[in-house]
Amino acid sequence: MPDQEKYNEADPMAGAGTEEEEMQSAIENRQFDLGTMEGETLVKGERLADHPEAPSADERVVPRSLWQDAWRDLRTNPIFIVSSLLIVFLVLVAIFPSMMTSTNPLNCDLSKSQLGPTGGHPFGFDTQGCDVYARTVYGARASITVGVCATVGAALVGTVLGGVAGFFGRWPDSVISRVADIFFGIPILLGGLVFLSVIKNKSIWIVVAFIVVLGWPQLARIGRGAVITAKEQDYVTAARALGASNNRLMLRHILPNAVAPIIVVATIALGTYIALEATLSYLGVGLRPPTVSWGIDISAASDSFSVAPHMLLFPAGALSITVLAFIMLGDAVRDALDPKLR
């Protein structure tokens, strides 16, 4: 964000920050994936003034908070409704897979290897003769668990560290930002290939921990940027001038305003983490059998794709829909929280 701050400055000199900020700005321009870039727009958008000739606001309408406004917007947004219903459904399936199928995904019959869909087995059988439908249903648990836990972990670590860096600046900022740089220096798939191949017996938690370790810098940067933006707002300066303590400033004034972009980016990141888990499993460094995972099944099915495409397409479809649902949710939340798009 600092470069955008520069744009907004009427006086170019005011934008020239310290050396530290300058470097940071250069780095910050860098972390773009869907989540990040949408988050950046969000932070920036809140500062844009209205068009001077736009119709004036109705004085009789009681001003609503950002969140109330966003909620009013979301309730009528079909994308939000569809994606959140889907997510509720997927979470239920993850918790109670037996609700959807009575077949045991590990109960396989080699004689049925690679058979196509038949009655009672709508998705057919995989190479091991396991029921693809049952495996697809049970696979939701691994994906959702990894996605949710990794996101919560990365968001917590990222928000705390990013918040500290943004709020205190100076050396805590330098240290945290440099450490984040180091983790950013490692492309995530590459890191996965090297780090995860070390650990032989992988539980879900190892994969979650890995994603948190390489994922937090992204959220820390969003948090840092949002906190810096919030810190510079006039009302925060006012509160500081009135003698509010650091804790109070942080919790009452800055956090509530910094949290919106983090939520948006985290929601979208959740989708990408699910895809990441599947990709790691596909590369053979993620989850391992007997854990039932879409990534493992897709990987196993890929060799026989031309012979028995159903083995790949059903878990791949489930995976894609899950990722899509979270990304759509994040998209809808961003639209609702971004006043500029109204």
Partner 1 sequence: MGSYVLRRLLQMIPVFIGSTFLIFVMVHALGDPVNALFGDRAPDPAVAAQIRAQYNLNDPLWKQYVLYMGRLFRWDFGTTFTGQTVTSQLAAAYPTTLKLTAVAFTIEVIFGIGLGLLSGLRRGRLADSSVLILTLVVISIPVFVTGYVLQYLVGVRWGVLPATVGFDVTLRSLILPGIVLASVSLAYVARLTRTTVAENSRADFVRTAVAKGLPRHRVVVNHLLRNSLIPVVTFLGTDLGALMGGALVTERIFNIHGVGYALYQGIVRQSTNTVVGFVTVLIIIFLLANLLVDLLYAVLDPRIRYA
Partner 2 sequence: MSTSSTSAQPRAGRAGTGTGPLLEVRDLRVEFRTREGVAKAVNGVNYSVWAGETLAILGESGSGKSVSAQAVMGILDSPPGFVTDGQIVFKGRDLLTMGKEERRKVRGAQVAMIFQDALSALNPVHTVGAQLGEMFRVHHGTSRKEAREKAVELMQRVRIPAAKERVGDYPHQFSGGMRQRIMIAMALALQPDLIIADEPTTALDVTVQAQVMDLLAELQDEYHMGLILITHDLGVVADVADKIAVMYAGRIVETAPVHGLYAGPAHPYTEGLLQSIPRLDQKGLELYAIKGLPPNLLRIPPGCPFHPRCPRARTICREVDPPLFEVTDETGTPVPGRASACHFWKETLHGE
Peptide bond into 290 cis (omega under 30): yes
Q: CA angle 14-19-22, nearest 5°?
A: 70
Q: Does 66 bind partner 1 (CB under 8 A)?
A: no
Binding residue for partner 1, selected from 198, 234, 241, 242, defined by CB under 8 A: 198
CB 267 within 8 A of CB 222: no
Q: How many CB atoms lie within 10 A of CB 61?
A: 7
Q: Which residue in this structure is represented by tokens 């995989």?
A: 126
Mark 7-36 with x for binding to partner 2 (rule: CB under 8 A) and - for no binding. x--x-x------------------------
Q: Does 82 bind partner 1 (CB under 8 A)?
A: no
Q: Does 22 bind partner 1 (CB under 8 A)?
A: yes
Binding residue for partner 2, selected from 19, 52, 201, 290, defined by CB under 8 A: 52
Q: Does 305 bind partner 1 (CB under 8 A)?
A: yes
- Strand, coil or helix: what is 177? helix
Binding residue for partner 1, selected from 190, 232, 235, 246, defined by CB under 8 A: 190
Burial of 152-172, coded b for 16+ CB within 10 Å and e otherwise, reads ebbbebbbebbbbbbbebeee
Q: Does 217 bind partner 1 (CB under 8 A)?
A: no
CB 286 within 8 A of CB 277: yes
Choose among partner 1, partner 2, none what residue 91 binds, the Cβ cut-off being 5 to 8 Å by kind.
none
- Taking the complex as a whole, the smallest distance from the CB of residue 76 to partner 2 amounts, in Å, to 11
Q: How many CB atoms lie within 10 A of CB 229?
A: 22
Q: Does 119 bind partner 2 (CB under 8 A)?
A: no
Binding residue for partner 2, selected from 53, 111, 119, 290, defined by CB under 8 A: 53
Q: Does 58 bind partner 2 (CB under 8 A)?
A: yes
C-alpha to C-alpha distances, 170 to 5, 118, 217, 270, 342, nearest whole angstrom: 19, 65, 18, 31, 37
Which residue stretches of 51-122 are H helix? 66-75, 78-95
Stretch that binds partner 2, among 21-29, 38-46, 53-61, 244-252 (CB under 8 A): 53-61
With respect to partner 1, which residue has the nearer C-beta, 11 or 234? 11
Q: What is the dihedral angle through the alpha carbons of 333, 64, 223, 161, rounded to the nearest 10 degrees?
A: -120
Q: Does 56 bind partner 2 (CB under 8 A)?
A: yes
Catalog residues that contact partner 1 under the rule CB under 8 A.
3, 6-7, 12, 15-16, 22-23, 26-27, 29-34, 37-38, 41, 178-179, 181-183, 185-191, 193-195, 197-198, 271, 275, 278-279, 282-283, 298-299, 302, 305-306, 309, 312-313, 316, 319-321, 323-324, 327-328, 331
Catalog residues that contact partner 2 under the rule CB under 8 A.
7, 10, 12, 52-59, 342
